[in-house]
Homo-oligomer: A and B are copies of this chain.
Amino acid sequence: MSVTTPRGFRAAGFAAGLKSGGAADVAMVVNDGPDAGVAGVFTANRVKAAPVLWTQQVVHGGVVRAVVLNSGGANACTGPGGFQDTHATAEHTAAVLTAASPQSVGAGEVAVCSTGLIGERLPMDRLLPGVGGAVAALRRDGGPAAAQAIMTTDTRPKNAVGHGNGFTVGGMVKGAGMLAPALATMLCVLTTDAAVDSETLDAALREACRVTFDRVDSDGCMSTNDTVLLLASGASGVVPTEAELTAVVTAVAHDLTQQLIADAEGATKQVTIDVVGAAREDDAVEVGRSVARNNLVKTALFGNDPNWGRILAAVGTTAAVFEPDAVDVAVNGVWVCRGGAAAEDRSKVDLGGSEVTIRIDLHAGQAAATIWTNDLSHGYVHENSAYST
């Protein structure tokens, strides 16, 4: 049930001393082949951490034999020196892997991911020995240990697996429910033993991310480090169609997305925003995101207030196709707003539980989308004001 469930992968977690307290903080995932295909999706933030800039180039090269990940430092906004640190990490990983196996690995085949504090250099005197420790700890069943090592404020590791017809997809993710400090960096490594070309791999990953990770929006803040990688070993010998691969990758990404949301620190409610009746899927996403980012909606939900007026006002800030006097809004199944005005009694809405569903019918077409978010709580303010990240 991890990145090492598919054939052809080994992984490890190691405590290098980057984090105080002795928790594991260096993870490695190695692709033993026969293929070494890769696809990647990265943060759209123009201020990108050094490991993102490095790994984008590596993925562009088309071959990844290892991913090394560290928690305890984001290596973002660290200038040319920070980029050299990432480069040195990849070089060292390649050298140690080459020494430990019959196969030669180049630095340009090593992806690097980092998460933690922004604006500070990594302690390379601890990270590089940690890389050696991780290589020594690589195991065929090391996936769970790797998932443990990439945690920051996550309260539990997050693993998932999905099965296709003769092939398997595994995955791990970190991110404390998008409400954590450190800009909620999300790092995700997906693995598959399917035999697929890089074009198919890329198409499957993009479509999976589009309807899962891309539709989680906790506070509208975009990390400098977000990275999702998909590695293919080809070890099953099975060649799925693009549709088959996409379906399984999407299922695994969806599973991981729900684990992210359920582990939301500082939040008291998990909120599902279903937008239906949209003229286009993009409209539905825009409306859902606008509601998900609206601080007045989010604080109302924290206060158990089914405040449909604030929801409607958030919808009104979008460019989606809709008529203001045609919009219906339901909160936890009660249609408190119909035709843009008050309908069922809002006192009927039960917001006592931790799960909230907001349904918005734009009455403008047949398209729909779902966005997941959280409430805005005292816990969020506390988490993000009390600790420098």
Contact = CB atoms under 8 A, between A and B. Distances in A.
Contacts of A387: 303
Interface stretch (A153-161, A247-255, A378-386): A378-386
Interface in A232-287: none
Interface stretch (A21-29, A141-149, A306-314): A306-314
B313 A47 contact: yes
Contact of A316 (B46, B296, B309): B46
A302 interface: yes
Given A46-B324, A299-B380, A389 B340 contact: no
Contact of A77 (B82, B294, B341, B386): B341
Nearest to A297: B221
A264 B79 CA distance: 38
A31 interface: no
B302 A385 contact: yes
Q: Is the interface of A mostly helix, strand, loop or mixed?
A: loop
A279 to B, nearest CB: 14
A289 interface: no
A120 B337 CA distance: 12
A79 B305 CA distance: 22
**Assembly stoichiometry (copies):** 2
A145 B181 CA distance: 47
Contacts of A59: none
A94 interface: no
A243 B382 CA distance: 48
A387 B219 CA distance: 22
B384 A119 contact: no
B119 A341 contact: yes
A251 to B, nearest CB: 30
Contacts of A339: 79
Interface string A35-49: 000000000111110
A125 interface: no
A183 interface: yes
Interface string A126-158: 000000000000000000000000000000000
Closest 7 A-B residue pairs measured CB to CB? A303-B385, A47-B316, A118-B309, A79-B341, A299-B384, A119-B309, A45-B316
Interface of A: 44-48, 76-79, 82, 117-120, 181, 183, 219-224, 293-296, 299-300, 302-303, 305, 307-310, 312-318, 322, 324-325, 337, 339-342, 376-378, 380-389
Given A77-B341, A299-B381, A309-B389, 20 more contacts: A44-B317, A45-B313, A45-B316, A46-B317, A77-B337, A79-B325, A79-B340, A118-B313, A181-B296, A221-B294, A221-B296, A221-B314, A222-B313, A222-B316, A224-B316, A300-B388, A303-B384, A377-B381, A378-B378, A381-B381
